[in-house]
Structure formats: structure tokens, C-alpha cells
Amino acid sequence: MNSAWWKMARRPRWIAGLLAILALAGGFAFLAQWQIGRAVAEASIESVDSETPVDLETLLAPMTPQKLSDGGRRITTTGTWGTESAIVYGKSQGDVDGEWLLRNFRVGASCLPVAVGFAENVEPSDLVVIDDTPSTISGRLVPSDDILAGNIQSSQREMVAAADLINEWTCASMFDGYVVLDDAPAPLETIATKPPVPQAVLNWLNVFYAIEWIAFALFAVYFWFRLVKDAVEREEEIAAEAGK
């Protein structure tokens, strides 16, 4: 871009050309934005009806990994409360720091860890088995926590993981993950849960089209630059011919 180029580019003809090219590039940019919008709007949202309770065993069999898309779904299941329990430390609800009471719920021969409720201090009396008649519970299915979550140096458990609990509880088999009970028995507080956020997958076809439109817009500007350069060379050649 030497001075001859700049001189040529400043001529009204080429400024008009630039405006036309910029309008075209703007059109391309608009199309790119439209494609981005489509990529999001057409994103296939993998929505699962998480709020209608389903039977646990339709989602999960003992000793099989829990599917990511099943995390957070409401479930019901029938079994009996086992004697095993645990306290999970380092929990909080609202502004209150506290603990969870975790209990074993036996579904057939398998153990299902159930987070029964929240309290600032879980009392030993809360651990007592209330009844051992078959009962149906409802709650939200949650994937196991990271086994290294929390303070692993302290002897206090700060996570709920099937891989950890199976070492302590007497279980023929175990479900992956745990259930947060819908209604905590007094004096415990019900643990707050939220429905899972739907997973959106971008539509890559539209993303690629958007990138192409941006490339076209940039190319249009370069095209103008090139046309000006050609015009300069043409004039120089004519001048050289005349000067011969």
C-alpha cells in the first residue's frame, strides 16, 4: 500500500466501490450472525422430563454406572431402611453450615445410599433405625461425588460416593450414586435440590456456515483492495507506454 495506492483509493470512484463492498461485507456478516442464531436455536436440547418420578430400577441397575442424563431425575423406590448410616460433613444450606445424615436403604439385596436430611449438627439419635418395614421413598437421583472431594486428610467424610461406602456397609451390591430424600423426617431439614439444567448441543453445520460467511466478508474487503491495486498498475502501464 504505497502512496500511489492511497491516491487511487481516495478517488470518489473507489470510495464508492469501498462503500458498496462494505455493504456486501455487512450483508455477509449479517448472514453469519443469522447462522450463529440458527446454531443455537436449532441446538438439539436433550431434555429429559426430570420432574416426573420414575421407578429407580428403570434408570439404574446395581453395580452399573449412572448415565449422566439421569442425574437429577426424580425417582421412587421400595425397600427397607438398613442399619448402616454415616454423617457427611462440610454441607451447607442457605447460609447455614451443617451436616447431612446418610442412611442405607436396601432395595432387594442392593444398597442405595440416601441423603435423609440436613441439620447444623446431626445428633447420634437421628441415626437410629426408625422402622424396618418395607417403605417407598421418593427423592432425586444424584451421581456419586468425586471420591477425592472435600478434605481427604480429615477423618470426616465430606463426600458421598458408592465406591467409598461399599467398603463400610455390608452390601451384596450397590447402586451408583445416591438419592436425596424429598421429605426429611423431623428434626432434620429437607435437603434443597434443583432440577438438572438441560444439555444443549450446538448445531455445527450452522457454526461452520457462520465461519464461512465471515471469511467471505473479509474476502470482499480484500477484493476491493486488489481492484484498487490493479487500477494503479493499469495507470502506471499506460503512463509507461505514453512515455516511451
Asked if 30 touches other proteins (CB under 8 A), the answer is no
At its nearest, how many Å lie between other proteins and the CB of residue 208?
Answer: 5
- C-alpha distances in angstroms, 238 versus 54, 106, 232, 244? 84, 95, 10, 10
Asked if 237 touches other proteins (CB under 8 A), the answer is yes
Of 79, 75, 99, 76, the residue nearest 89 (C-alpha): 99
User: Are 102 and 84 contacting, i.e. CB atoms less than 8 angstroms apart?
Assistant: no
Segment interacting with other proteins, rule: CB under 8 A, options 88-96, 124-132, 168-176, 226-234 = 226-234
User: Are 117 and 179 contacting, i.e. CB atoms less than 8 angstroms apart?
Assistant: no
Asked if 223 touches other proteins (CB under 8 A), the answer is yes
Work out which of 208, 218, 235, 236 binds other proteins, going by CB under 8 A: 208
Of 166, 118, 112, the residue nearest 141 (C-alpha): 112
Asked if 6 touches other proteins (CB under 8 A), the answer is no
Asked if 230 touches other proteins (CB under 8 A), the answer is yes
* Spatial separation of the C-alpha atoms in residues 150 and 34, rounded to whole Å: 45
Amino acid in position 145: D
Closest to other proteins by CB, 118 vs 213, is: 213
Closest to other proteins by CB, 6 vs 204, is: 204
At its nearest, how many Å lie between other proteins and the CB of residue 244?
Answer: 14
Residues found near other proteins in the complex (CB under 8 A)? 204-205, 208-209, 212, 215-216, 219, 223, 226-227, 230, 234, 237
